[in-house]
Copies of this chain bind each other. A is one copy, B any other.
């Protein structure tokens, strides 16, 4: 397929979709991003890349970091991770405390905030410097030694992280958290602040499209078994409260972030990353979702 032409078609078709969503505004660093940005990158499993628009412009990956932190912890502790966090869709808001209370501090999955905080806590227990380890992993798999935290964003996040503090303290009360909460939330805010672009993210996700092997790294980053499982968790839990609609419209394993970025996987074919800052009411990029829907409609690459 002529992926470059497809990307161009999509970019053109997206013009009327701008202005329908809303840029995240809970911290200034996100609120100040121009709403009209649009970038998209494709990384085929053989290493070929296609990109369009603002695909080389950095943005805050936010919750997409949960996808990579999950990988890192699965590499470290294997299936032990599932003793501390589930893999079922939550049916409730990503930052809800209700289920957490009903289920005694055991988060439903690693892509809601509570579950991601547990994941980060597990890395802390296995690493002298969890933030550095995460950063180095991101540099390795994105093949870009310059990707880094945005410390301004991290600091802003920390200043408004009251719900995350509440989730962490509540899980601590149930014995689920092992590390000091101030340090834990500090790392959590850093990982969310990581600044990357569509090309970085598509590259970093390549292993998920190819049984764990990344042609860019020329190495197996993940086991085939873990790849299958992570993709399953992405499909059932990766897009906040709209996983059903996302599966229905796009039909790919996906992880989104409130910075407007989305990563999607076509198993055995490619990794995709799209970015556009305006969000729908669930917190997914409005234009990015539309672009992915158009992509699977044109290419028939939906997994369904």
Q: Which residues of A contact B (CB under 8 A)?
A: 86-92, 96-102, 108-109, 160, 162-163, 165-170, 172-173, 181, 227-229, 231-233, 235-237, 241-245, 247-248, 251, 253, 267, 302-304
Bound together, the chains give a CA A166 to CA B166 distance in angstroms of 4
Q: Tell whether, in the assembled complex, residue A304 and residue B232 are in contact, meaning their CB atoms are under 8 Å apart.
A: yes
What are 19 A-B pairs with beta-carbon distances under 8 A? Answer: A87-B245, A88-B89, A88-B241, A88-B244, A88-B245, A89-B244, A91-B91, A91-B92, A91-B108, A97-B98, A97-B166, A162-B172, A165-B166, A229-B248, A231-B251, A232-B304, A233-B244, A235-B236, A303-B304
Q: Which residue of B lies closest to A91 (CB)?
A: B91
Q: Could you list 9 further interchain pairs (A-B, Cβ under 8 angstroms) beyond the known A89-B91, A97-B166? A: A87-B245, A88-B245, A91-B99, A97-B100, A98-B101, A160-B173, A166-B173, A232-B251, A236-B236
User: Which one of B99, B108, B166 lies within 8 Å of A169 (CB-CB)?
Assistant: B166
Bound together, the chains give a CA A244 to CA B111 distance in angstroms of 12
Cβ contacts under 8 Å, A89 to chain B: 88-89, 91, 236, 243-244
Cβ contacts under 8 Å, A87 to chain B: 244-245, 248
Q: How many Å from the CB of A89 to the closest CB on chain B?
A: 4
Q: Tell whether, in the assembled complex, residue B163 and residue A173 are in contact, meaning their CB atoms are under 8 Å apart.
A: yes
Bound together, the chains give a CA A236 to CA B89 distance in angstroms of 8
Q: How many Å from the CB of A251 to the closest CB on chain B?
A: 6
Q: Tell whether, in the assembled complex, residue A244 and residue B236 are in contact, meaning their CB atoms are under 8 Å apart.
A: yes
Q: Which residue of B lies closest to A175 (CB)?
A: B162
Q: Tell whether, in the assembled complex, residue A97 and residue B97 are in contact, meaning their CB atoms are under 8 Å apart.
A: yes
Cβ contacts under 8 Å, A92 to chain B: 91
Bound together, the chains give a CA A65 to CA B194 distance in angstroms of 46
Q: Tell whether, in the assembled complex, residue B304 and residue A267 are in contact, meaning their CB atoms are under 8 Å apart.
A: yes
Bound together, the chains give a CA A160 to CA B242 distance in angstroms of 34
Cβ contacts under 8 Å, A97 to chain B: 97-98, 100-101, 166, 170
Cβ contacts under 8 Å, A244 to chain B: 86-89, 109, 232-233, 236-237
User: Which one of B98, B165, B242 lies within 8 Å of A88 (CB-CB)?
Assistant: B242
Contact A243/B236 with A162-B170, A170-B162, A304-B228 known, Cβ cut-off 8 Å? yes
Cβ contacts under 8 Å, A232 to chain B: 244, 247-248, 251, 304
Bound together, the chains give a CA A242 to CA B101 distance in angstroms of 20
User: Which one of B101, B229, B236, B245 lies within 8 Å of A96 (CB-CB)?
Assistant: B101
Q: Tell whether, in the assembled complex, residue A228 and residue B170 are in contact, meaning their CB atoms are under 8 Å apart.
A: no
Bound together, the chains give a CA A235 to CA B86 distance in angstroms of 17
Contact A233/B253 with A163-B169, A243-B89 known, Cβ cut-off 8 Å? no
Bound together, the chains give a CA A96 to CA B100 distance in angstroms of 11
